[in-house]
Structure 1
């Protein structure tokens, strides 16, 4: 008897076989093959019983390529997640070496796909041998020889995987085929993880500009005199009237910003501004004030009625004017001292303070004493004031549309202010103005306003007293006006600068109306008129046409341009992640099935397949001369199985896996031991 020993894992396995089998060791005539199987005894140094099965390191090394491929797939998956995490919410142009993110993702996905297909293909190849192997201790099973072809086709994916699923060659094989077929959708689904959102991003163009004007000082004093520019009076009155004659349902727009791209954002910034407010003097408990207002209004009203009659007669109005016997009077005049209706910090900064007298019902156009007395009993008073303040703004330009929001307002002096800013309250201004001595009177006197809250800069806001008084003089000439309106809001007579008509529409209603607005609406509309006028004057101050320019007068913003940003939808990475996890599970189950079946790790070895078929099987299925289709038909009818020795080893007389041709009814004799 000849023998061979194999050293494996510290143990010696003996394969015993006779040089020439004797007669008593031959199978009966009913054997299905002339091949024999040898028993394999595994002996250990501690006297283990024969038949004990141990996985050797050689067997584990046979799975090393698949394990490494699976680890490579996991590394690719980690690389994909790191890449997508770093690219998320970043501009799409920030790619590496000019390669787009989609290209990199497609490359890594392909590597991961190949990585998980390797264990699947080799696992199916190994399950092919287990499929033809009869379980230990159970009756032998025969399988169609064509199943070899089905498993081989499934290893390549596509239609082969579908055939394997339809034919159902075991739960584990079907599981592997499903994972392999899912690889058809891997690249398409992972590409859906990358989307591009168009957002506004900082522009990197050197010639882009974002600038908005603001006022950090109001002064035209050049150290000697006021450096007035041409048409300052016209510009100021235009700004005032623009605000006055803007309908109360609309708002004067803020100063337009300069944005080269059409999309710019500025940080919160502060600026000098003009504020406007309204107070109801009729409700103020100040008898002396009411007496002064009544006397001033009565004189103005009497003068208006007399001059209107004279003007109507000399102008040839004739019966047209005399036929109007009922009118609404509206009179605007200057207040010669503070009323106390506003707090002291605002009063210190007032540059224009006026009253408006009006009636809520029509009065007679007669100028006699009785009619005038009745008329004065119906007069009500409001205070109209403009004052300096500081405001915090936020400006944004979107698609070419500039929007500026007022965030906060503050009216407070931080430095010493020894002079009023209202020309009507200052007895020194007109004498020095008429004689040209204001430089000696005021000179370079200035004061500082408190910075507005929430502004992100720390500049100082200063106002020259002389410049402010000059602007106050222009305001005073504009705010002196009076008129008479008929029942349909038509002007019957006027005498002054023209501002009274704007307030008349807010107090009495629009043209051709006959009913007065409610009291709360009248007050709100008057406040809107004052706010619009103050905003219009602020735009003039911020634009710099009436002040000396300073470097901090222009606020620089950030220029934005439409830019594509990467947005990662992580849920679309679930397919690849699931495939790799399931492939790991499939590989572990296949290794376990191989161990439990006590079969060598053969996988897709072509040499093992060539050695597996015995001569009798080859003779029965014939050659390929009749064509592959004929060969497959014969293979479909032929039933084969792997032969196992009594101790579970799969081998023929040469120690190779063997396929045995037979039918389910045929039984092979139990092998004997030599």
Structure 2
């Protein structure tokens, strides 16, 4: 046979099932290889190549494109599924989960679209591996290659189905491209599982839209019980006020009186910053003030109270029958609380204008004699120290939050300033008009509806006026004064020896001198801090009464509305988990393009997984050497492992559709020369 040039790039037809004759070349184009037989390479003349018009090249490329059209469409379908998945997840991200038609969930739709996308990339992979099977057995253009074991046909076919077949192809290494495709196919085992991880459900607080959900917290915008004629007090209003004072001052200094509890129907609510009337407190060290007149006034008031306390205690002890007990105590700690009849100057002017109660507390840090003679009193008074205890009106801004049923209110700011100056005072001890009108029942004529307006805190944007009715405030000031007025004597272990007053001195004595049954004084800084805590607790307790009690006239703004939140599940998309499917589709497109390029470069027809092509590819002699199925598939596979074959190209045919029965055709098998050699199976 005359040697002719290799088929040009436009010749892609090499397998012709229309012929019934077997081509037998007279001589091999290359030396025989005793490791495996081959068929002679059929070549075409150069004249045939040069005579082909350019239209034939375009026709060949068009045929190649048509051959891969189903796989290209599958890739486009996979891309559309991926786009649909991203749009679906983007729409659902950070939103409550929605049940679609017939209860279909987001996970169900994602699983369905993922399955479609998975099929979309598995189809090109399977068909590409099938096409690589034929390329694996064919010779590169212009040179021959060694024959391949016939069992590789089975390996490629198994790999098309994935699973173990893909593993065999991957580890058996039938070329870089085939291993690449097998790796992509095996990754499909994890596609659905990993993609489902993209959807998570997080429970978060969301604004409730239920009409019956409520969030309210009380506050006071006015302090008044005036009805236009008299103070409209409800039964036991005065007891509630005094109880509020005692609840505050007898709260241990290590604890804090809680703020007003908010009402929240769901257990999770928030309120914006809001303002309210409040009672503020302060403590000043009067002993450290350089004011001789003040010190003289304090000494006179304390000495009178102390002399009276010692005298009444002796009389009471004797008449009560336990005089021996009292007489056995020679030294005591005196604690006396009295009213200040004028401002001391320890607080600024804006605070002084709003004071509702101003008292002093006198005490000693060492024990003094219980004798009431002048020398003993002089020695006692030389050891007395003074503190000022003040309550005044103020406005505070709060932020309230209820979390899992626990209400927490935080003070944001405090402001103690009246909008306009007043000629009147809110402190009963400084107002000389209150007792005359109080005893005569003519306070409506004296005070009427006079109010003091306080400035609102800067943190609140609400337009609300905060007012204190003068008459109501003076009445409350009288109740505070009567509760604070007190004096007592304590023994060495802080037990009460004698008392005379409202009973509040005991709470301050514990802060100044230590708890019951103690004998050591607390450090000076702790004593001052504990007294401030007692005053703060008393002020907060009175504030709670003002915000919740009947001492505030009802107004619509007295109840602050908040936001109610309920626990709701929200869809959270973790986009990184979509990288698996996206990468698979991209790599599949790359694999398909490389496989099509390899097909074109190898001048192999686009046959892919056609079983008919496989049926007519194996020549009769090779089938006869291979044997039948009589000994089973396992025996057939063993024979296929030993038999080496390769594909030969057809010659003289421009297209498979132009082949005739007499023309040469390509066969998959061994050449007659190799078959004639002695072979051991």
Q: Please say whether Structure 1 and Structure 2 have the same fold, judged by a TM-score greater than 0.5.
A: yes
Q: Confirm or deny: 8 A CA contact 2:12 2:604 kept in the other structure.
A: no
Match of 2:669 in 1: 661
1:339 aligns with 2:347: no
The CA deviation string for residues 336-358 of structure 1, in whole angstroms up to 9 with x for no partner, is 11111111111111100111111
User: In structure 2, which of residues 368, 371, 375 is the aligned counterpart of residue 366 of structure 1?
Assistant: 371
1:637 aligns with 2:646: no
Match of 1:63 in 2: 68
Match of 1:146 in 2: 151
The CA deviation string for residues 432-461 of structure 1, in whole angstroms up to 9 with x for no partner, is 111111111111111221111222433221
- The aligned runs of 1:14-25 (5 Å cut-off) are none
Match of 1:613 in 2: 618
Structure 1 residue 663 displacement after superposition:
6.8
The CA deviation string for residues 368-422 of structure 1, in whole angstroms up to 9 with x for no partner, is 0000001111111111111111111111112221111111111111245332111
Q: Confirm or deny: 8 A CA contact 2:39 2:648 kept in the other structure.
A: no
User: In structure 2, which of residues 537, 542, 548 is the aligned counterpart of residue 543 of structure 1?
Assistant: 548
Deviates more, 1:659-668 or 1:311-320: 659-668
Match of 1:593 in 2: 598
Aligned-partner Cα distance in 2 for 1:33–1:135: 14
Structure 1, gaps ≥5 residues long: 1-8, 669-674
Deviates more, 1:85-94 or 1:636-645: 85-94
User: In structure 1, which of residues 473, 479, 482 is the aligned counterpart of residue 484 of structure 2?
Assistant: 479
- Structure-2 change in CA distance of 1:251 and 1:491 (3 Å): same
1:228 aligns with 2:228: no
Q: Confirm or deny: 8 A CA contact 2:27 2:40 kept in the other structure.
A: no
Aligned-partner Cα distance in 1 for 2:468–2:102: 57
- The aligned runs of 1:156-195 (5 Å cut-off) are 156-195=161-200
Match of 2:536 in 1: 531
Aligned-partner Cα distance in 2 for 1:160–1:33: 27
User: In structure 2, which of residues 321, 325, 333 is the aligned counterpart of residue 316 of structure 1?
Assistant: 321
Q: Confirm or deny: 8 A CA contact 1:599 1:649 kept in the other structure.
A: no
Q: Which has the higher contact order (CA 8 A, sep 6+)?
A: 2
Structure 1 residue 86 displacement after superposition:
3.6
1:104 aligns with 2:102: no
Match of 1:28 in 2: 26
- Structure-2 change in CA distance of 1:29 and 1:571 (3 Å): closer
The CA deviation string for residues 526-565 of structure 1, in whole angstroms up to 9 with x for no partner, is 0000110010001101113212111111111122222223
Match of 1:579 in 2: 584
Structure 1 residue 103 displacement after superposition:
1.6
Aligned-partner Cα distance in 2 for 1:137–1:311: 132
- The count of aligned residue pairs is 651
Deviates more, 1:406-415 or 1:31-40: 31-40
SS at match of 2:397: strand
SS at match of 1:56: helix
- The aligned runs of 1:203-352 (5 Å cut-off) are 203-352=208-357
Aligned-partner Cα distance in 2 for 1:365–1:248: 29
Aligned-partner Cα distance in 1 for 2:326–2:597: 114
- Structure-2 change in CA distance of 1:313 and 1:26 (3 Å): closer
Match of 1:409 in 2: 414
1:113 aligns with 2:118: yes
Match of 1:88 in 2: 93
- Structure-2 change in CA distance of 1:457 and 1:108 (3 Å): farther
The CA deviation string for residues 602-649 of structure 1, in whole angstroms up to 9 with x for no partner, is 212233323323333333334445543343333333322111257998
Aligned-partner Cα distance in 2 for 1:144–1:277: 100
- Structure-2 change in CA distance of 1:152 and 1:106 (3 Å): same
Match of 1:432 in 2: 437
SS at match of 2:125: helix
Match of 1:555 in 2: 560
Q: Confirm or deny: 8 A CA contact 1:267 1:456 kept in the other structure.
A: no
TM-score by length of 1: 0.90
SS at match of 2:26: coil
1:453 aligns with 2:451: no
Q: Confirm or deny: 8 A CA contact 1:329 1:485 kept in the other structure.
A: yes
Structure 2, gaps ≥5 residues long: 1-8, 30-36, 677-681
- Structure-2 change in CA distance of 1:378 and 1:58 (3 Å): same
Q: Confirm or deny: 8 A CA contact 1:125 1:151 kept in the other structure.
A: yes
SS at match of 1:482: strand
- Structure-2 change in CA distance of 1:326 and 1:148 (3 Å): same
Match of 1:3 in 2: none
SS at match of 2:86: helix
- Structure-2 change in CA distance of 1:374 and 1:26 (3 Å): closer
SS at match of 1:221: coil
Match of 2:5 in 1: none
- Structure-2 change in CA distance of 1:479 and 1:13 (3 Å): closer
User: In structure 2, which of residues 505, 510, 514 is the aligned counterpart of residue 505 of structure 1?
Assistant: 510
Structure 1 residue 664 displacement after superposition:
12
Deviates more, 1:392-401 or 1:644-653: 644-653
Aligned-partner Cα distance in 2 for 1:124–1:643: 20
TM-score by length of 2: 0.89
Aligned-partner Cα distance in 2 for 1:623–1:449: 109
The two structures, once aligned, show a CA RMSD in angstroms of 3.1
Aligned-partner Cα distance in 2 for 1:656–1:157: 36
Aligned-partner Cα distance in 2 for 1:113–1:297: 94
Q: Confirm or deny: 8 A CA contact 1:508 1:517 kept in the other structure.
A: yes
Structure 1 residue 653 displacement after superposition:
6.1
- Structure-2 change in CA distance of 1:260 and 1:578 (3 Å): same
- Structure-2 change in CA distance of 1:275 and 1:94 (3 Å): farther
1:567 aligns with 2:575: no
